Amino acid sequence: MNRLFILLFSISLIGCCREPKLLNNGLTKSASQLTEYTILIKRDSANNEARDTLMIRNKFYNNNNQIINLHQKTLFDNEKVDIEYSYNELKKIKKEIVKISTETLPFSVDYIYKDTLLYQSKAIVNYSNEKFEQIETYYYRKNNSKSKSVSIQIFIDLESSDTIRNSVSTTYFNKNEIVTKIETIHKTDLERNRKIVYKYDCQRLIGLKEFNNNDSLISTLKYEYDLDNFGNWISKKIYKNKKLDKFITREINYK
């Protein structure tokens, strides 16, 4: 379910990097639409390279540079995901309505605030025999900058009313509210426990390291970018354990 939830970060960046401040859309300039193509790199036994498009994602933005619609299609299973975003009177995210082509009914992600700070986001999905809930709670420093969030996934068996907490993920943010580390604990399967540590060049993600339950390094990702004239990336190469694994291209329709 994690891949269905699109997390929006409004990042306030300061100084020494001398890079332009990003808008709510994550870009340096207003845009009406952004299209992403995710392409997987495959190699056969002779190391011949083939490319396979995995996913196409379209994002649409309002006049406040906030995302209002997302359309996503994964080509290997032909699944479609459509998300509609709405905002409150303070122009903060209020709700997501998520429609998945393989599900009969849509579900919602609701955002709850204490004063002006985001307190929780809740997603509830009802199936015929079970109920899924994902609740993410946010924590802040004394200066109101986000310090961490804790996301809990819960499955409820509707016949027995048994509740099983599948996983708990803790996301840590630096003083500029950029993600630095995510730790995920699976209560029923410790072998799936993971820790991901992120590396940046100023505000741009350039790599990450993934560790298993024994804190052993299991994979390393490195990112390389091509930028347009406005300093926004239009191509991102992803190297896994020093081999090109996939790349993402972006088409940006600026206003």
**Are 57 and 79 contacting, i.e. CB atoms less than 8 angstroms apart?**
no
User: Band of the pLDDT at 147, cuts 50, 70, 90?
Assistant: very high
DSSP 102: T
Calpha distance 111→55 (Å, rounded)? 27
pLDDT tens digits for range 234-245:
999 999 999 999
Residue 102's nearest CA partner among 81, 124, 121 is 81
The residue ranking higher by pLDDT, 127 or 98, is 98
Residue 153's nearest CA partner among 164, 167, 137 is 167
Residue-level pLDDT at 161? 74
Residue-level pLDDT at 11? 31
CA distances from 94 to 8, 65, 112, 113, 130 (A): 12, 16, 7, 9, 26
User: What pTM did the predictor assign?
Assistant: 0.86
Poorest-pLDDT segment among 1-5, 175-179, 211-215 = 1-5
Calpha distance 214→212 (Å, rounded)? 5
Residue-level pLDDT at 7? 34
Q: For residue 14, which amino acid is it?
A: I
Q: Is the dihedral of CA 51, 55, 61, 65 positive or negative?
A: negative
- Residue 228's domain is classified under what CATH number? 2.40.160.150
Residue 109 half-sphere exposure toward CB, CA atoms < 13 A: 23
* pLDDT value at 8 more than 70: no
Q: What is the mean pLDDT of residues 195-223?
A: 96
Per the structure, how many domains does the chain have?
Answer: 1
Calpha distance 156→165 (Å, rounded)? 9
**Are 136 and 124 contacting, i.e. CB atoms less than 8 angstroms apart?**
no
Give the domain range for residue 171: 2-43+50-254
**Are 250 and 244 contacting, i.e. CB atoms less than 8 angstroms apart?**
no
pLDDT tens digits for range 98-120:
999 988 889 999 999 999 999 99
What tokens does 62 get? 């309002």
User: Band of the pLDDT at 165, cuts 50, 70, 90?
Assistant: low
Nearest 10 degrees: CA dihedral of 239, 250, 1, 54?
A: -70
